[in-house]
Amino acid sequence: MIESITSRGGLNARNPRVVEIFDEHQGIVYRRTDRMFAVLMSLQWLAGVAAALWISPKAWEGSDSHTHPHVWAAVFLGAVISSLPIAFALLRPGHIATRYAVAVGQMLMGALLIHLTGGRIETHFHVFGSLAFLSFYRDWRVLVPATVVVAADHFLRGVFWPQSVYGVLAASEWRWLEHAGWVIFEVTFLVIAIRHSIGEMWGIAERTAEIEALNEGLEAHVASRTAQIVAANQELEREIAERKLAETELAEQRSFLRQVIDLNPNFVFAKDGNGCFTLVNQAIADAYGCTVEELVGKTEADFNTNLESVESLHRDDLEVINKLEEKFIPEQMITDASGQARWLQTIKRPILTPDGTADQVLEIATDITARKTVESALRQTEERFRQLAENIREVFWITECRDNKLVYISPAYTEVLGRTCTSLDEISQTWIETVHPDDRSRLIDATASIQEGAGYDLEYRILRPDGDVRWVRDRAFPVTNEDGEIYRIAGIVDDITERKQALEQIKTSLQEKEVLLKEIHHRVKNNMQVITSLLNLQSKTINDEHALSVFQDSQNRVKSMALIHETLYQSKDLSRINFAEYLQKLVAHVSRSYRIRPEAVQINIDVDDVSLPIDTAVPCGLIINELASNSLKYAFPADMRGEINITFEHGKSSYVLRVSDTGVGLPADFKPETGKSLGMKLIRMLTDQLSGELQCHNGIGTTFEIKFPEDREIVQA
Amino acid sequence: MRLTGRRITLIGAFAIWVVAVAVGLALLWRYENTSGANASPPPQWPVASTVKAATDRATLVMLVHPRCPCSRATIGELARLMAQTQDRLKAYALFVKPEGTSEDWEKTDLWRSAIDIPGVEVVMDDGEEARRFNAVTSGQTVVYDAEGHLLFSGGITGSRGHSGDNPGRSAIVSLVNGGDEKKSESAVFGCPLFGPHSACKESEDD
């Protein structure tokens, strides 16, 4: 059996893995023993040196001594013998050459130690001990060179120096075989032990291989189970991931639905059979003055103090749950957190469970409080409108543009038109027939124009059934919808017969008064003309130039007023005169009265197109007469040429009268507010009458400027 | 088999190692087998000797260098010799103390070993007795019979410091135990008893 185990030829039949494990184990043994011998031989060398130093440190010649050659032999020869095996053991561990070198070196070292110890028989045990150590390699081949070295040593020394090995000078030539035989004796047992050891190593290798095979099977099984577990884990992870995804999506959907119901201004909520809120949105939470989380789990009774209302709501909920039918509640009232009544329009629907029953009710309540308020206001407005429409004397009517039919007409219709209100359709159809034939076309045209967005205000006659003709004022205006489209026409028909008649009387009276007023102005003008003529006749008897000038001034002043009345009665408007026209006449008269030469003094007039009332025109005319007269008389002495400029500007809310000349100007010490001439007094007085302000600029010529307000209180002179 | 560089190096190292080991062992063996100078002891027991020769048996005189390591084997062989010859041999171990050495310089382990050998008288010699027996190498042993005739001269070890059977001890045993009466000699392995410039010169002067 041992033979079969240790036979290298039999390895072919072995499991390669067994051989591999055996070789690996054997290599470990080789290398481990190599390392052991590396240490052992190093210590052995040191021990040899120590032994030499102890036994024969010195050689003597009388009293002289020197190092004993044994010491040098122990140091150097021991180092040489040990060097190769140690080097091989360190550099080539496990190699067969190393083992052979160790075997040879170890035997040589034994020989050296025997020498160093003086051939002590005890030292020969080193040889046998070394063989035992060499058997640690578990390689019987190593014992061969060791045995050969021992045999060769004894053979050679037996031949050449028998006494050194056998202790006799003439030993038998075969005696070395005796010594070698003892070595072989030990080697034989060592070889047997080595083979047993190798057999055990094979057994270990086979068992290791079997364990490995079992382990591999176990590992394969474990790997298979691990793969199954990994696959199961992956499946589980996938399911977990899907579940997380589903949970995430569900959370997103819940969040989305939460936002949807929270954004819904209606109250969205659900209750269970006990009336507890199970789902609420932000709107109802806000109405109850709490958060969504606070509201869930509570009942109406926690917020609504009206127990009757709470019980009514709960009864409705139970009815929906029990009957499994949807219920619509047009109006119901709750009291919100602020104590205000809130009107709701609610739809209640049962939330069905998988078994077809219901334990909750879903409710969507629309807050119609605003609508109720509007409806109430509308009713009040309608009532007010109705009261207004039914109590006014005017006829209020409304027609639809779509079919041009009357949709409303106030009761005054009967009174104004003298007809009974049978039906709105009849009124619509017969309205035009009630209009005077001469006025129908105007009404039809106006009615057509209103479709284009413009209203009308029309006066026309209507014919009453009793033959009476009445004037009415019909004012209609379009009514547009939110898109700006006209869909109705509303109108008011007012009986203006009496007013019309009164207006005619007023017109007649006014015409009479205008005639009378023109006659008055005419007569005033004539009277002033008489006064002027009288003054003219009187002046002809006066030789004094000054007195004559005074007369002439007075004539011009009267003339200036007469021109106003003349202009008034010749104009259409008896209350105002065209001031430009008047001023042209006035300047022409003044020029003629002072016989000025047009080529010497040029009068320029620049007057805005304004009409002045008589109480403004008279002072202005007198002022211009005074200033123009002064300029004509004093500004241009001898043959001096120049200009007189008269402007009258209409400002934003005032008038500016400016009279200037390019004459010699006034004296340097002249002040308009202190001038004592009649003309200046008259100008100051008239300026005050106009509530104006007088300014005088004396430079190149003279400029008088009077600024007075457009609207002023009339100051009587 | 290809000889790679590494293998060549290996073989070269092995060859060098073998040569070095062979040379070393050869030198060692040569040293071990190189004997000291042989003495020419007087054929008759020197009269001037302070050592008293036995008249009823043979007398052995061994000249020993107290500190010669090689003589440790000689003392060992003397012990075996005394055991083999029993009372038929009177033995003296003369430990030669060189001049100028300190007191008890000679009292070494060799001295104590020699004292322990039954039948051996240990005597300190200042060199005079050594010169009388013309001994120059430690381990020099001479044997005279009861009449004072020289029977043996030489060493009782086979090599330097090497114990074991050797021709010198065998010859003495044979002579003492009534065997061969023919005078014999053997090589002496040991340290010189005297320094190169003292003992030998004085001996030559004698």
The segments of chain B whose pLDDT lies below 50 read 199-206
Note the Cα A642 to chain centre separation in Å. 79
Residue pair B65/B35 in contact (Cβ under 8 Å)? The answer is no
Contact between A705 and A697 under an 8 Å Cβ cutoff? The reply is yes
- Measured over the CA atoms of residue A297, residue A338, residue A349 and residue A307, the dihedral's sign is positive
Q: Percent of chain A, pLDDT > 70?
A: 94
Give the count of domains, chain A. 5
Model confidence at A171, pLDDT cuts 50, 70, 90, reads low
Same domain flag for A449 and A342: no
pLDDT attached to residue A401 = 83
Q: Which residue has tokens 């009040």?
A: A380
**Contact B28/A118, CB-based, under 8 Å?**
no
Same domain, A168 and A38: yes
With 0-12 / 13-18 / 19 or more C-beta atoms within 10 angstroms meaning exposed / middle / buried, residue B47 is exposed
Q: How far apart are CA A372 and CA B104, in angstroms?
A: 147
**Domain with residues B58-205, CATH architecture:** 3-Layer(aba) Sandwich (3.40)
Q: Do A176 and A37 share a structural domain?
A: yes
What does the alpha-carbon distance between residue A156 and residue A76 come to, in Å, rounded to a whole number? 23
- Tell whether A232 is covered by a domain: no
A360: pLDDT strictly greater than 60: yes
Task: State whether A517 and A464 are in the same domain.
Answer: no
Identify the domain containing residue A24 by its residue range.
Answer: 2-217
Angstroms from B172 CA to nearest CA on chain A = 15
- B14, B162, B196 member nearest A119 (Cβ): B162
Q: Do B99 and A167 touch (CB under 8 A)?
A: no
Note whether A439 and A463 are same-domain residues: yes
Question: Alpha-carbon distance B144 to B126, whole Å?
Answer: 22
Tell me whether residue A434 is in a domain.
Answer: yes
pLDDT tens digits for A681-711?
Answer: 889 999 998 999 998 888 788 999 999 998 7
How far does A66 lie from chain B, in Å, by closest CA?
11
Q: What are phi and psi of B7, to 5 degrees?
A: -65, -40
**What's the rounded Cα separation, in Å, for the pair B5 and A203?**
39
- Quick check: A63 and B99 CB within 8 A? yes
Burial class (CB in 10 A: 0-12, 13-18, 19+), B127: buried
User: Are the CB atoms for B160 and B70 separated by under 8 Å?
Assistant: yes
**Taking CB atoms and an 8 Å cutoff, what residues of chain A touch B192?**
60-62
Q: How far apart are CA A590 and CA A398, in angstroms?
A: 67
Our CA-based measurement puts residue B3 at a distance from the nearest CA of chain A, in whole angstroms, of 15
pLDDT at A145 over 60: yes
pLDDT for position A120 = 72
Tell which of A428, A462, A495 closes a domain: A495
Q: What is the pLDDT of residue A37?
A: 92
Can you give the pLDDT at residue A3?
37
Q: Which residue of A has its CA nearest to B99?
A: A63
Count how many pairs of residues, chain A against chain B, have C-beta atoms within 8 Å.
Answer: 106
Percent of chain A residues past pLDDT 90, beyond the cut: 21
Could you tell me if residue A257 is inside a domain?
Answer: no
**pLDDT score of B200:** 38
Q: Tell me the two tokens of residue B109.
A: 């382990």
Q: Flag if A60 and B67 touch (Cβ within 8 Å).
A: yes
CB contact under 8 A, A118 and B24: no
Burial of A567 (0-12, 13-18, 19+ CB in 10 A): buried
**B-interface mutation test, from A60, A99, A169, most B Cβ less than 10 A away:** A60
B195 closest CB neighbour out of A59, A64, A101: A64
Q: Say if residue A8 is in the same domain as residue A151.
A: yes
Which tokens belong to A37? 């011998």
Q: Are A334 and A368 in contact (CB under 8 A)?
A: no
Give me chain A's average pLDDT, please. 85
Shortest distance between the Cα of A101 and any Cα of chain B, in A, equals 9
Report phi then psi at B161, rounded to 5.
70, 20
Separation CA B163–CA A617 (nearest Å): 182
In a domain, A634, yes or no: yes
Q: State how far residue B57 is from chain A, nearest Cα, in angstroms.
A: 27
pLDDT of residue A9: 43
* Pick among A61, A98, A157, A169 to test the B interface (most B CBs inside 10 A): A61
3-state secondary structure of A277: strand
B33-68 pLDDT, tens digit each: 888 887 789 999 998 899 999 998 999 999 999 999
Rounded CA-CA distance A493/A398 in Å is 11
Q: Which residues does A124 contact at the CB level (< 8 Å), separation at least 6?
A: A110, A114
Instruction: Identify the bridge partners of residue B14 per DSSP, sorted by sequence position.
Output: none
What angle in degrees, to the nearest 10, is found between the helix axes of A545-570 and A497-539?
A: 160
User: Rounded to two decimals, what is the model's pTM?
Assistant: 0.47
Q: What is the mean pLDDT of residues A18-30?
A: 90
Q: Which residues lie closer than 8 Å to B126 by C-beta, 6 or more apart?
A: B96, B97, B99
User: What confidence tens digit (pLDDT) does each residue in A617-663 have?
Assistant: 889 988 998 898 888 888 888 778 888 999 999 888 899 999 999 88
Residues A86 and A37 grouped into a single domain: yes
Give me the amino acid identity at A415.
Answer: E
pLDDT confidence of residue A1: 32
Q: If interface means Cβ-Cβ distance under 8 Å, which residues of chain A face chain B?
A: 55-65, 68-70, 73, 76-77, 80-81, 83-84, 87, 97, 101, 108, 111-112, 115, 118-120, 161, 163-164, 166-169
User: How far apart, in whole angstroms, are the C-alpha atoms of residue B5 and residue A154?
Assistant: 36
- Alpha-carbon Rg for chain A, nearest whole angstrom, is 75
What letter does residue B159 receive in the DSSP assignment?
B
Using pLDDT thresholds of 50, 70 and 90, give the confidence band for residue A554: confident
Please give the pLDDT value at position A631.
87
| A503 and A491 within one domain | no
Interface test with chain A among B21, B30, B67, by most A beta carbons within 10 Å: B21
Q: Is A602 helix (H, G, I), strand (E, B) or coil?
A: strand
Co-location of A65 and A158 in the same domain:
yes
The shares of helix, strand and coil residues in chain B, as percent rounded to the nearest 5, are 35, 20, 45
One domain, residues A608 and A709: yes
Judged on CB neighbours under 10 Å (0-12, 13-18, 19+), A91 is exposed
pLDDT (0 to 100) of residue A41: 92
Cα maximum dimension of chain A: 220
Is A258 a domain residue? no
Strands (E), chain B: 58-64, 89-96, 120-125, 140-144, 150-154, 184-185
Cβ pair A119:B164 closer than 8 A: yes
Tokens 């008279």 locate to A618
Spell out the domain ranges in chain B.
58-205
- A558 and A586, same domain (yes or no): no
Judge whether A446 lies within some domain: yes
What is the reported pLDDT for A334?
A: 79
CA distance A234 to chain B (A): 57
Q: What tokens appear for B58 in the block?
A: 């043979």
**Mean predicted confidence (pLDDT) in A394-419:** 86
- Record: contact A59-B20, CB cut-off 8 A: no
Q: Are residues A326 and A430 in the same domain?
A: no
